[in-house]
C-alpha cells in the first residue's frame, strides 16, 4: 500500500533563505508526482508536475526533483519570501491501484 | 476565468440535515473528483467521474451521493449529516487521466456540522 510522508511537518525560515521540502513514497510504481501549495482557508494550487520519466521540473524560484528508485522528491525554493508561507503538499499518482495519494503537507512560514 | 468553482464556500448546518455542494469546471476536462480534507489535513479521494460516469467510489458512507448532470458539473449531496462530516471538501478536475496534466482544484467548501 502506497504511503506518502513529508518531513518536516512544519518549517520556519528567515526571508531570503533557500530551503528544501521533502516528500517520500513507499512504492516506486508511480506515473507522476505533483507539488501543490495550500494557503490558509483556500484551495490547492498546482506548482509543479513531474512525470515518472523525468528527474526535475523548474518554475521560477521553484525546482522539484524526483528520484523514483529511492522513493523521494524534493521541492527547492530559492530566495524565500513571506508570500511563500503556505502548506506544501506532494501527491503521487500510483500505478498499482490507479490512485492519487497525498502527503500530509509541510507548513512553511517565511519570517520577514 | 477558467477554473474549478465550488459553492458554497462555507456551510454550517445542524446534524441530521441534508445539504448539497456544487462544483463546476469550465476547463473542458473529462474527469472530476471530490476530495475530503480532514482536521489533520489529509486529503482523501471520495469519488471520481469520467464523462458523467462513476469510476472511483472509495469507502464513503451511502449518505454521500455524487451527481454529474454533465461532464462540467459534479455535485455532492449529503444526507443525514453527522458531526464527523465536518471537513473541507474539494472538487478537482483533470483532462483525461491524471497521467499527463495533473489536477486543478477548486477553492474548497468548509462544512461545519453542529
Question: In A16-89, which residue ranges form alpha helices assigned H by DSSP?
Answer: none
HSE, side-chain direction, 13 A CA sphere, residue B39: 5
Cell numbers that stand for A71 in this block: 522513493
Cell numbers that stand for A80 in this block: 524565500
Nearest chain B Cα to A102, which residue? B43
pLDDT digits (tens, 9 = 90+) for A21-51: 999 999 999 989 999 998 876 778 889 999 9
Residues in chain B closer than 8 A to A51 (CB atoms):
100
User: Phi then psi for A83, rounded to 5 degrees?
Assistant: -70, -10
Q: What distance in Å separates residue B8's CA from the closest CA in chain A?
A: 13
Interface touch B98/A43, C-beta < 8 Å: no
Cell numbers that stand for B33 in this block: 473528483
Nearest chain A Cα to B106, which residue? A43
Q: What distance in Å separates residue A112's CA from the closest CA in chain B?
A: 26
Q: Give CA–CA dist A61/A37, Å, rounded.
A: 14
Query: For the CA atoms of chain A, what is the radius of gyration?
Result: 13
- Whether chain A has a CB inside 8 Å of the CB on B3: the answer is no
- Whether chain A has a CB inside 8 Å of the CB on B107: the answer is yes
Interface test with B, best of A38, A42, A43 (most B CBs within 10 A): A43
User: Phi then psi for A47, rounded to 5 degrees?
Assistant: -105, -55
Nearest chain A Cα to B89, which residue? A43
Q: Give CA–CA dist B59/B16, Å, rounded.
A: 21
Per-residue confidence in pLDDT tens, chain B, 114 aa: 668 999 999 999 999 999 999 999 999 998 899 999 887 777 888 988 887 777 777 778 899 999 999 989 999 999 999 999 999 999 999 887 666 677 888 989 999 999
Q: Give CA–CA dist A86/A39, Å, rounded.
A: 5
Res A110: pLDDT:
97
Q: Give CA–CA dist B34/A41, Å, rounded.
A: 17
Partner residue opposite A43 with nearest CB, options B42, B45, B106: B106
Question: In chain B, which residue ranges form alpha helices assigned H by DSSP?
Answer: 98-101
Interface touch A102/B90, C-beta < 8 Å: no
Question: A97 falls in which pLDDT band (50, 70, 90)?
Answer: confident
Amino acid at each position: 500500500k502506497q504511503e506518502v510522508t513529508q518531513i518536516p511537518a512544519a518549517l520556519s525560515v528567515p526571508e531570503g533563505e533557500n530551503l528544501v521540502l521533502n516528500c517520500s513514497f513507499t512504492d516506486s510504481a508511480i506515473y507522476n508526482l505533483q507539488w501543490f501549495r495550500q494557503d490558509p482557508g483556500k484551495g490547492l494550487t498546482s506548482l509543479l508536475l513531474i512525470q515518472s520519466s523525468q528527474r526535475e521540473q523548474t518554475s521560477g524560484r521553484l525546482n522539484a526533483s524526483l528520484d523514483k528508485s529511492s522513493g523521494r522528491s524534493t521541492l527547492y525554493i530559492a530566495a524565500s519570501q513571506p508570500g511563500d508561507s503556505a502548506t506544501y503538499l506532494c501527491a503521487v499518482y500510483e500505478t498499482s491501484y490507479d490512485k492519487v495519494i497525498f502527503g500530509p503537507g509541510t507548513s512553511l512560514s517565511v519570517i520577514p | 476565468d477558467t477554473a474549478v468553482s465550488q459553492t458554497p464556500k462555507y456551510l454550517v448546518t445542524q446534524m441530521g440535515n441534508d445539504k448539497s455542494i456544487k462544483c463546476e469546471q469550465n476547463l473542458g476536462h473529462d474527469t472530476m473528483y471530490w476530495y475530503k480534507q480532514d482536521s489533520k489535513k489529509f486529503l482523501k479521494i471520495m469519488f471520481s467521474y469520467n464523462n458523467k460516469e462513476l469510476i472511483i467510489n472509495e469507502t464513503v458512507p451511502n449518505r454521500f451521493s455524487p451527481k454529474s448532470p454533465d461532464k462540467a458539473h459534479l455535485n455532492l449531496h449529503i444526507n443525514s449529516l453527522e458531526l464527523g462530516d465536518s471537513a473541507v471538501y474539494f472538487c478537482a478536475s483533470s483532462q483525461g487521466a491524471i497521467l499527463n496534466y495533473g489536477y486543478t482544484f477548486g477553492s474548497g467548501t468548509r462544512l461545519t456540522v453542529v
